Amino acid sequence: MLSPERLALPDYEYLAQRHVLTYMEDAVCQLLENKEDISQYGVARFFTEYFNSVCQGTHILFREFSFIQATPHNRASFLRAFWKCFRTVGKNGDLLTMREYHCLLQLLCPDFPLELTQKAARIVLMDDAMDCLMSFSDFLFAFQIQFYYSEFLESVAAIYQDLLAGKNPNTVIVPTSSSGQHRQRPPLGEASVLEGVEASLFSQCLENLCDRHKYSCPPPALVKEVLSNVQRLTFYGFLVALSKHHGINQALGALPDKGDLMHDPAMDEELERLLAQVPGLVNSAPANPEAGCLPSRTPPRVGSPWRPLHHARKVDAESDGSTEETDESET
Amino acid sequence: MIPGKYRSVSGRAANNVNCGLHLVIQTSSLPEKSKVEFKLNKETPSFSGRLLQHDLERNYSSRQGDHIHLASSSMPSFPILQRSSEEKILYSDRLTLERQKLTVCPIIDGEEHLRLLNFQHNFITRIQNISNLQRLIFLDLYDNQIEEISGLSTLRSLRVLLLGKNRIKQISNLENLKSLDVLDLHGNQITKIENVSHLCDLRVLNLARNLLSHVDNLNGLDSLTELNLRHNQITFVRDVDNLPCLQRLFLSFNNISTFESVCCLADSSSLSDITFDGNPIAQESWYKHTILQNMMQLRQLDMKRVTEEERRMASVVAKKEEEKKRESHKQSLLKEKKRLTINNVARKWDLQQHRIPNIAPNQDRKVSDSSQDPSQLHGSTVSAFPEETGSLDSGLANALQGLSVTDTHLVEVDGDTLSLYGSGALESLDRNWSVQTAGMVTTVSFTFIEFDEIVQVLPKLKIKFPNSLHLKFKETNLVMLQQFNALAQLRRVDQLTIDPQGNPVVNFTLWKYYVLFRLSHFSMQKINGTEVTQNDMIMAERLFGILAHVASSELPQYRMISILGDARKKQFRYLLETKGKKPGLVNEENNDSKRLVGENTNRAMLNYTTRDVYNERLEEIKEKKKFCKMYMEDLVKEATEINMKNEALQKLWPQMFIELVRDAVIEIRNKNSYMKLCLQQITDQK
């Protein structure tokens, strides 16, 4: 409690760094908005649920974009939620356009801005032919980099432009103009002939950037690793490398590795259960009630699955008949 | 009809001349063979003349063989005709020269009293040499080769002129024949009726078997009773109403196909007998009653008497036709109006769609707080709107706003389809629809209306048109999959048609599956005309099932309630707004919403709020957020103060503790004085 690090930061800043205040504010705000409903079962329970959901990463579902963007944890949770929900789309092998991915994003966040999706698409398509189809995994990883590190990437873009123009932000401008110019000239010459910028120079600038700014940026070591492999690289080349780097992905912790991207046994089981409920499906295997049960507090589920497809499904609030999926099996 | 006696003289069985006239001239029977002799000029006989002479001598036995003598005449080629004085006295007023193989009209000498002249069945090519017969009343030139009417200018008394079966191309040179009673020009090559206006005594005009293509120029024929125009190529008839006495008109075997082409007949009050057989018009189904209806004065049609029954039927049928025509006219007017309205609405819609980008380039584009403008998704990419076109469009738009638009929307109920064009049409859902009409509607079609506006009236639609099972959307700006969530609130949808025109969402690969997934409780049968198969349903579930699961199971309770609560709140709000709300209705809605909660709870989370409503809500929340922030800051301040105090206390506590102990020990050092002090304190307290 009395650790020196803690005491080193003033209280407010400490709280801010951990984003505690963001969540507290949001919690109180939610409380205010839904006070009639929440007052039914108590404020304490509300706070419990709220912070539980924050821990689980479900708090960002269907929330406005400003909230989702507010903290790194939110962003990571959102990425994970997106992956979870639409992994099946990727598994199906469909290649979709940028707009369609944006649509899917909007299903989870109604006011998600198009620019972000566009920037992510640019990374995948290397800033070319924006109407091209993209695979789910390509898009997802590029989107991850773009969304999670969006501020970082903006600064990187600025630096890149500067480097391209020949201005080295690291250069200290000595009053005697000649020496400053001397130092600057070689990179200028190279940049105009070859594409992109020199990797080492770029790496230096990025290191300084990471040191200077407080918002999240990829682990500097890994960035250095990415840049050490090549001599020269373009902006989008750099981003693509970032997106495909396993280490960065793992450091982020939101998404599984590329190889495991389509695997999610828990959800797959759940899906099987749901599929079994599609009417008319001649699936003899009864749904496994233990796997991924719905919590007991959800209202009663859809009734028997064995009704023919084209009858009007008037589902009663209470399920009729005793099929395997009655509530008895739930805890 | 020419009296039978005369007919036998001419030797013809068939007589095309249908004169209804009884000739004044009384004739006595004439012997078959002619008693006439011919005198021919021997000196310079023409070829034909010679032949004629031969024929004559061969064919005709003249009783007065010795009386033929050929006199010379000044005319080289004309035969001169002379009769014996006996014959002249016997038949002083008539002369028959039929079948004489004449090629020219002979000079007729000394027969100035002649009243009847018959040149039938010859080969005469020109009418000549009869100018001196100024008493002539009856001239028959039937079946010759006359090409032109001429040489008649002195025959002022002429009353019957028979020129049938010749080669006459033109009616002319009849100026002086003012007494003409019968004019027979059948079987010629006449193309036009002309030069007859002065024939005010003419009673019969026969122009059958000519080349007439139309009938006009009939003024002046004030006595005309019968007009025969059979076997021509007549397509229209005019001026017949200028004939005050016309009773019989024969138009058989022409080219008349509509009543309008002969409509002047309706105005002719004298007509009693008419024929149209052999015309295209006679084949029409409406022929008889149209004629009878328009020509009430008719007594015979196509040579058959018109009965009262027929007349009655005709008027009935004609009335019905009139009704039908009026109806169809009204229909076509309505259709035209509808088409114009739709065009209007379409234009307005296009304007709207193009007007929106004017605002977009002016917005600040900040990554963090730009709210998505759905119009930016419409059509081209964001970067593609240059400022110039933006300002041009706004200029144009402003100019067009000045135009007065008569119809801005259209509502149409056509049997089982309700069609709405233009956003103004949505207000029509408030109207009092009759239960029958509303019950019959199974298809609702929206065109040129923003989908967000349609969403707002869906509850109304549900109530007013409970049987609507098929929804069609065209040019409604459907851009996001999310928008389909809004359709879930309806009772039931069997078919959905999203027209690619104006609905970019159709370009997405997954849109159909999403629809099937989100609206699975409807058990839809068709989307855009294709049947929904079991595989489609499975695929939809496979693609989006997890989304539903996550939405329902992983949301905290309060979120679920708040989202569902919103939906319920919306429904109640609508009910409160509708007039004539009955308690029973409210209960029904309650049940409905309960049912809604019962079905597909996992999907019920997926709602759609329109852009505007969403932004409104975010605006409302801003206040609360500000308050929360301040509140938290206060709390944090308090907490940090307390924390600081706590830490300070922690630091100072050992010292304080020691001092407390020291003070206490010092106090109790002297037991006796301490005891006294305590007791005193107790007494003081009392």
Interface test with A, best of B590, B636, B650, B653 (most A CBs within 10 A): B636
Using a CB-CB cut-off of 8 Å, the residues of chain A touching B549 are 267, 270-271, 274, 292
Question: Nearest by CB to A275, which of B542, B625, B635?
Answer: B542
pLDDT at A325 over 80: no
State residue B326's pLDDT score. 94
State residue B189's pLDDT score. 94
**pTM listed for this prediction:** 0.58
Strand intervals (E) in A168-277: 197-198, 232-233
Using a CB-CB cut-off of 8 Å, the residues of chain B touching A294 are 552-553
Instruction: Answer yes or no: do A56 and B510 touch at CB < 8 A.
Output: no
Question: Nearest by CB to A28, which of B521, B618, B628?
Answer: B628
Q: Could you report how far apart the first and last alpha carbons of chain A are, in Å?
A: 39
- What is the tens place of the pLDDT at every residue in A262-276? 877 787 887 888 777
A22 touches B at CB < 8 Å: no
Instruction: Answer yes or no: do B605 and A62 touch at CB < 8 A.
Output: yes
Question: With a cut of 70, which residues of chain B have pLDDT below it?
Answer: 1-77, 355-407, 565-602, 604-605
For Cα atoms A318, A322, A324, give the angle at the middle one, nearest 5 degrees.
Answer: 110
Q: b or e along B457-487 (b: 16 or more beta carbons within 10 Å of the residue's beta carbon)?
A: bbbebbbbbeebbbbbbbbbbbbbbbbbbbb
DSSP string, B642-679: HHHHHHHHHHHHHHHHHHHHHHHHHHHSSHHHHHHHHH
Instruction: Answer yes or no: do A270 and B546 touch at CB < 8 A.
Output: yes
Distance from the Cα of A324 to chain B's closest Cα (Å) equals 18
- Residue B39 DSSP class: B
Instruction: Answer yes or no: do B545 and A274 touch at CB < 8 A.
Output: yes
Question: Nearest by CB to B624, which of A33, A281, A292?
Answer: A33
Cα radius of gyration rounded to whole Å, chain B? 55
pLDDT at A256 over 90: no
Nearest to B63 by CA among B40, B39, B91, B34: B34
Using a CB-CB cut-off of 8 Å, the residues of chain B touching A267 are 546, 549
C-alpha B511/C-alpha B543 separation (Å) is 11
Q: Which of residues 128-147 of A touch B (CB under 8 A)?
A: 130
State residue A17's pLDDT score. 67
Question: Between chain A and chain B, how many beta carbons pairs sit less than 8 Å apart?
Answer: 218
Q: How many CA atoms lie within 13 A of B523 on its CB side?
A: 14
Instruction: Answer yes or no: do B377 and A110 touch at CB < 8 A.
Output: no
Instruction: Answer yes or no: do A24 and B599 touch at CB < 8 A.
Output: no
State residue B77's pLDDT score. 66
ipTM: 0.72
Instruction: Answer yes or no: do B508 and A92 touch at CB < 8 A.
Output: no
Distance from the Cα of A65 to chain B's closest Cα (Å) equals 8
Q: The CATH number of B404-567+598-604 is which of 3.80.10.10, 3.60.150.10, 3.40.50.300, 3.40.47.10?
A: 3.80.10.10
Kindly report the number of other CB atoms within 10 A of residue A195's CB atom.
10
- State which of A80-94, A233-247, B245-259 shows the largest mean pLDDT: B245-259
State residue B41's pLDDT score. 40
Q: Where in chain B is the domain with CATH 3.80.10.10?
A: 404-567+598-604
A222 touches B at CB < 8 Å: no
Instruction: Answer yes or no: do B370 and A96 touch at CB < 8 A.
Output: no
Residue B284 Cα distances to A255, B254, B288, angstroms: 82, 15, 8
Name the residue of chain B whose CA is nearest to A95's CA. Answer: B509
- Residue B306 DSSP class: P
pLDDT at A166 over 80: no
Instruction: Answer yes or no: do B523 and A299 touch at CB < 8 A.
Output: no
State residue B137's pLDDT score. 92
Using a CB-CB cut-off of 8 Å, the residues of chain A touching B508 are 96-97, 99-100, 103
- What is the tens place of the pLDDT at every residue in A187-207? 443 444 456 677 777 777 778
Using a CB-CB cut-off of 8 Å, the residues of chain B touching A21 are 632, 636
State residue A171's pLDDT score. 54
Q: Which of residues 73-132 of A touch B (CB under 8 A)?
A: 81, 84-89, 92, 94-97, 99-100, 103-104, 106-107, 110-116, 118, 130
pLDDT band at A170 (very low <50, low <70, confident <90, very high): low
Average pLDDT taken over every residue of chain A: 72
